[in-house]
Chains A and B, each alone.
Chain A
Amino acid sequence: DAKTTQPPSMDCAEGRAANLPCNHSTISGNEYVYWYRQIHSQGPQYIIHGLKNNETNEMASLIITEDRKSSTLILPHATLRDTAVYYCILHAGNNRKLIWGLGTSLAVNP
């Protein structure tokens, strides 16, 4: 079973920030928080990952709480092309197995 919990679906207006939550209350000290997204029937696309500190790249920002039990992926200005299923996954470096859940289906509306 997946070690993360995400809402099954969310909506966001185009141009607004999309904030996608993830709960991972049983996270271990060596596990990173990873985010991927999957646009319909394509392969998952890596977005961002982090261990303790907040991270930002050209696609998104990742905010991890101080106790590491939850995180939020932020798409600062959502576009229609950001409509996808977003997956939050925990990954320890020495473990090649990623445990996938069903993610959050984000719909960006005009």
Chain B
Amino acid sequence: ETGVTQTPRHLVMGMTNKKSLKCEQHLGHNAMYWYKQSAKKPLELMFVYNFKEQTENNSVPSRFSPECPNSSHLFLHLHTLQPEDSALYLCASSQDKTSGTDTQYFGPGTRLTVL
């Protein structure tokens, strides 16, 4: 248990559906992250939020839409996805320290399958 929870853990959706992934952190952190992990590929950073403001968008297609209403919650809204978007979606959080180093803590992930 890392203090970062994600729901749902598994999601199957059609290409025309709209769904949302939710992440919540109970660590008092200020930065939150979305990562994508496709089969046999390294983790790819998608988005970073710092104090609710988006600070990184790693050239992610617009069919993925993040939302960060406060420092504890992060959403990833999905619409008109493609089968190649099937992957494990991971949320992480960190304190966002400005000196030293800043450890990221991960949730369990949402396994997404797009049919």
Contacts and interface: CB of A to CB of B under 8 A. Distances in A.
A binds B: yes
Interface of A: 2, 32, 34, 36, 41-46, 49, 51, 91-94, 96-98, 100-102
Interface of B: 2, 4, 6, 31, 33, 40-45, 48, 50, 55-56, 88, 90, 92, 94, 96-109, 111
A51 B101 CA distance: 9
A2 B48 contact: no
A98 B43 CA distance: 9
Looking at chain A's contact residues, is the secondary structure mostly helix, strand, loop, or mixed? loop
A46 B103 contact: yes
B45 A97 contact: yes
A58 to B, nearest CB: 15
Contacts of B97: 93
A49 B45 contact: no
A49 B94 CA distance: 15
Nearest to B91: A43
A100 B38 CA distance: 13
Given A42-B108, A43-B109, A96-B56, A49 B2 contact: no
B2 A45 contact: yes
Given A43-B107, A43-B109, A45-B106, A100 B42 contact: yes
A64 to B, nearest CB: 14
B101 A96 contact: no
Nearest to B90: A43
B103 A93 contact: no
B26 to A, nearest CB: 15
B96 A96 contact: yes
B38 to A, nearest CB: 12
Nearest to B109: A43
